[in-house]
Amino acid sequence: GAVVSQHPSWVICKSGTSVKIECRSLDFQATTMFWYRQFPKQSLMLMATSNEGSKATYEQGVEKDKFLINHASLTLSTLTVTSAHPEDSSFYICSAKGMTGGRSPLHFGNGTRLTVT
């Protein structure tokens, strides 16, 4: 089946530093990747849609300069949390859709638990 690898699975960083999270589709080409954020015991909130070779589309209320997204190839998208603050601590999870039809589900990475101290 389709596999999405997300790295790192957890990270602790100091306030003011930047953190990069990678999302790779291992056995399929992902034209579109999505980045979600999840607070404890809450739902997944879509942050942005990442299309290969073009600028990401951010959801309302998500700061594009804060959460930099790069989708340089059909198998890799990255999310960089810039100048992280404690309120950025959250579970970030990426997903990818292959080139197959509309019935295909999004395949998710295992998520990254970010803690900003």
What residue ranges bind another protein (CB under 8 A)? Answer: 32, 34, 42-46, 49, 57, 91, 93, 95, 97, 102-103, 105-111, 113
Q: What is the dihedral of CA 74, 5, 95, 91, to 10 degrees?
A: -140
**Smallest separation, CB 1 to another protein (Å):** 9
Nearer to another protein by Cβ, of 20 and 113: the residue is 113
Please give the full DSSP string across 58-106, using - where no structure is assigned: EPTT--TTTEEEEEEETTEEEEEE-S--GGG-EEEEEEEE-SS-TTPPP
**Smallest separation, CB 83 to another protein (Å):** 25
Nearer to another protein by Cβ, of 93 and 116: the residue is 93
Contact assessment for residue 18 and residue 81, using Cβ atoms and an 8 Å cutoff: yes
**Smallest separation, CB 51 to another protein (Å):** 9
Question: Based on the number of CB atoms within 10 Å of its own CB, is 102 exposed (0-12), middle (13-18) or buried (19 or more)?
Answer: exposed
Nearer to another protein by Cβ, of 78 and 95: the residue is 95
Nearer to another protein by Cβ, of 88 and 109: the residue is 109
